Amino acid sequence: MSEQARVTRRDVDADVIVVGAGPAGATTAFHLARAGLDVLLLEKTRFPREKVCGDGLTPRAVKELVAMGVDIDAPGWIRNKGLRVYGGGVRLELDWPELSSYPDFGLVRTRADFDQILARHAERAGVRLREGVNVTGPVLDERSGHVVGVTAKADGEEVSYRSRLVVAADGNSTRLSIAMGLHKREDRPMGVAVRTYYKSPRHDDDYLETWLELWDGDRLLPGYGWIFPVGDGTSNVGLGLLNTSEAFKNIDYRDLLRRWMKNTPAEWGFTDENMTGPIRGAALPMGFNRQPHYTRGMVLVGDAGGSINPFNGEGIAYAMETGRTAAEVIVQALSRPTPAQRERVLLAYPRILKDAHGGYFTLGRLFVEAIGRPGVMSFATRHGMPHPTLMRFAFKLLANLTDRRGDASDRIINALSKVAPPS
């Protein structure tokens, strides 16, 4: 090791500090540690802990879990065959597509222990995890203005940690990004999700289930409801809505969920008496709504960078993908001998993300703007659902599941994503 490298490392607590031990942070930390870097992962809460989520994992997320070596055959992982869709008076079962790029099954695992599984997996790879450490802001180099660490509160005491690089994986509210002047883009869609759990005989269904018609009185809302089997005697039941409708600000989401449940068959058991926890809600930052994804020594991953898919509200897969991509870039950057060379590599990270997802997220943004207009959602549901071939195409598009050299539908989706301007 060169004298310069020894001096660089001697003054830091870790090569990389990752703030937030959700799927994005844990995945980033895991891949960094596997590459031989010293990684400090800071989590403000203590495991196990709740997160508002549908708990459903598409084949995109399954692929990332397999790449990390997570044992998805262990107890508690519930496999599913695909998606059962209700809309326009039609019920349609769509199996996950058979592709060379992705598995042909999805999973369900509650966030109550999913995040903990990933964080412990990262620890076994060599990551140093610190729980109960609430990061309060960045530490900046006085001369360059680059992030060289973070300040935090731990057990009531003010502490600070220094590193060669910081990864912001601190979610939608991302205190670090805001402190660095990175605010949400108002031209990007935002969603909200609410969910709860019910004891139900439907807890071991082979399919995830979505309902495309959410009515608020006589208004059809842009969004969908879901029923996901957890396998432990309960179902995760929730709904997601988009801010592209005028009705968005005036909806009582919890009341809407309860009203929807009252219209389901009694034998499903979705009653207040069978509810095992409160109805909780969370914001869904979509379409890269915070940019750039790298600035002055800080890398954004997951929800901190708004990496949720606008088409379907999926966040975990993209959190893990951006985490893996960020780790690959960081490993390459920190191997460079000079600050200028390291910076050049890191500045490529936003472009890599846009090349991978930017065009597709733009299509998603156009899609959610369209279905936010009165009548469009109703027309699409009524005329699309009776046509299985069209719905299979839509399923691939909305789930972003294609092969590079796949069938005609894959080629169409890939071409549309390529020609669309990056988000």
29-71: pLDDT as tens digits = 999 999 999 999 999 999 999 999 999 999 999 999 999 999 9
- 223-242 b/e (C-beta count within 10 Å ≥ 16 → b): bbbbbbbbbeebbbbbbbbb
pLDDT of 261 over the 50 cut: yes
Q: At a CB cut-off of 8 Å and minimum separation 6, what does 335 contact? A: none
Percent of the chain with pLDDT over 70: 97
Identify the weakest region by mean pLDDT among 203-212, 308-317, 372-381. 372-381
Mean pLDDT over residues 297-323, rounded?
97
pLDDT of 8 over the 50 cut: no
Pick 140 or 5 by higher pLDDT: 140
Which residue carries 């605010």 as its tokens?
183
With cut-offs at 50, 70 and 90, classify the pLDDT of residue 296: very high
Residue 361's DSSP bridge partners are none
Mean pLDDT over residues 240-266, rounded?
86
| pLDDT on residue 4 | 36
| pLDDT on residue 407 | 95
Quick one: CA dihedral 115, 120, 124, 129, positive or negative?
positive
Q: Write out the E strands in 169-300.
A: 190-199, 207-211, 214-216, 219-221, 223-229, 234-242, 280-285, 294-295, 298-300
Single-letter amino acid, residue 93 = E
With cut-offs at 50, 70 and 90, classify the pLDDT of residue 247: low
pLDDT of 397 over the 50 cut: yes
| pLDDT on residue 124 | 98
Q: How far apart are CA 334 and CA 5, in angstroms?
A: 10
State the pTM of this model: 0.95
Q: How far apart are CA 217 and CA 358, in angstroms?
A: 36
Q: How far apart are CA 120 and CA 324, in angstroms?
A: 17
| pLDDT on residue 115 | 98
- 79-95 b/e (C-beta count within 10 Å ≥ 16 → b): ebbbbbbbbbebebebe
The pLDDT mean for the chain works out to 94
Identify the weakest region by mean pLDDT among 106-115, 377-386, 414-423. 377-386
Q: Using DSSP, how many helices (H) and how many strands (E) does the chain show?
A: 13, 20
With cut-offs at 50, 70 and 90, classify the pLDDT of residue 215: confident
Mean pLDDT over residues 10-20, rounded?
90
With cut-offs at 50, 70 and 90, classify the pLDDT of residue 96: very high
Secondary structure class of 210 (helix, strand, coil):
strand
Percent of the chain with pLDDT over 90: 87
Helix ranges restricted to H, 268-315: none
pLDDT of 10 over the 60 cut: no
With cut-offs at 50, 70 and 90, classify the pLDDT of residue 7: very low
Mean pLDDT over residues 12-32, rounded?
97
